[in-house]
């Protein structure tokens, strides 16, 4: 894979695994995150030329510095993956102002900064791909206590689609892709505000399998992908009858969980 790939949120989980898999295929990877020790360890597993850049994705200046470091080392950027983010377990009725603001900052503004800082480089070349890591919760209200996180991912999907349309005529060589994982066996849920461990959930997708889908979107660019094939069918079912779907979900949450545990997966059919 002859690509230079920048990945935010790359010190663990999906970001670190994406760097490892891409590096194993020959890509030059630039890993960005706030935790230096973990970031450098992930870079060491991602190829001899992997570059680790300590970055706070919620700061525009840091994202600009990340772009400049990648260009200085490799001379170009082919793919920019906005993977940094954070979850929360709080129903709408209990959300605090600062919690909602934090979700928008960590999940939406961080990706907006990434898109905006790399776009001039992509436009100059009329080539490049932005990959925004969203969530199945951007389409399905299956976990009501993930309300603000879901709202942030809805916003990220909307920004991605709007940018895709904006670029289509003048810069057709630039692709904006959205990948929507479901529950993945990483530390993401345990690091969420009020979160819980997802490693032991029987329906959690392995980080290796989820990441393979992201890598496939890079190798075969397209607008959207779900890491779990069944999610697309659930989304189609939701939009066929929103009321019936939401009634089904509501019945599973007669009392909202207080421990932030992820909801059971939907029955298929």
CA angle 135–39–58, rounded 5-degree value: 55
Q: How far are the Cα atoms of 99, 115, 150 from residue 259, in angstroms, in the given order?
A: 17, 35, 18
Judge whether 149 counts as a catalytic residue: yes
- Report whether pLDDT(180) > 80: yes
| Edge-first strand listing for the sheet containing 28-33 | 51-54, 28-33, 4-8, 79-82, 128-133, 174-180, 224-226
What tens digit of pLDDT does each residue of 114-131 get?
999 999 999 999 999 999
Catalytic pick among 149, 226, 238, 239: 149
What's the CA gap between 51 and 182, in Å, rounded? 29
- The total number of residues shown for the chain amounts to 269
- Taking the model in full, what pTM does it have? 0.88
Q: Name the architecture of domain 4-252.
A: 3-Layer(aba) Sandwich (3.40)
Closest to 21 in 3D by CA, of 255, 206, 148: 206
pLDDT in tens, 61-119: 999 999 999 999 999 999 999 999 998 989 999 999 999 999 999 999 999 999 999 99
Mark residue 22 as left, alpha or beta (left: phi above 0; alpha: psi -120 to 50; beta: remaining). Answer: alpha
Q: Tokens in use for 199? A: 């490693």
Chain position carrying tokens 């102002």: 97
**Which two three-digit tokens encode residue 141?**
């209200």
């Amino acid at each position: 894979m002859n690509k230079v790939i920048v990945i935010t949120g790359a010190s663990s989980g999906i970001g670190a695994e994406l760097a490892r898999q891409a590096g194993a295929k020959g890509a030059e990877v630039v890993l960005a995150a706030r935790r230096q020790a973990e970031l450098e360890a992930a870079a060491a597993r991602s190829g001899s030329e992997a570059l680790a850049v300590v970055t706070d994705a919620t700061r525009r200046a840091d994202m600009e510095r990340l772009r400049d470091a990648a260009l200085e080392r490799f001379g170009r950027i082919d793919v920019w993956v906005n993977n940094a983010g954070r979850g929360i377990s709080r129903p709408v009725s209990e959300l605090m102002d600062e919690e909602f603001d934090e979700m928008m900052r960590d999940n939406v503004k961080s990706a907006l900064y990434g898109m905006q800082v790399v776009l001039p480089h992509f436009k100059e070349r009329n080539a490049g791909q932005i990959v925004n890591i969203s969530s199945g919760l951007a389409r399905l209200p299956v976990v009501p206590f993930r309300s603000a996180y879901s709202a942030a991912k809805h916003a990220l999907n909307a920004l991605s689609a709007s940018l895709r349309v904006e670029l289509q005529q003048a810069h057709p060589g630039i692709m904006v892709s959205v990948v929507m994982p479901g529950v993945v066996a990483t530390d993401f849920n345990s690091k969420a505000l009020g979160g819980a461990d997802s490693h032991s959930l029987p329906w959690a997708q392995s980080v290796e399998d989820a990441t393979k889908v992201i890598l496939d979107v890079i190798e075969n660019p397209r607008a959207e992908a779900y890491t779990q094939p069944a999610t697309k069918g659930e989304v189609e079912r939701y939009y066929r009858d929103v009321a019936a779907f939401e009634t089904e979900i509501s019945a599973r949450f007669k009392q909202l969980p207080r421990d932030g545990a992820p909801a059971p997966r939907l029955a298929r059919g």
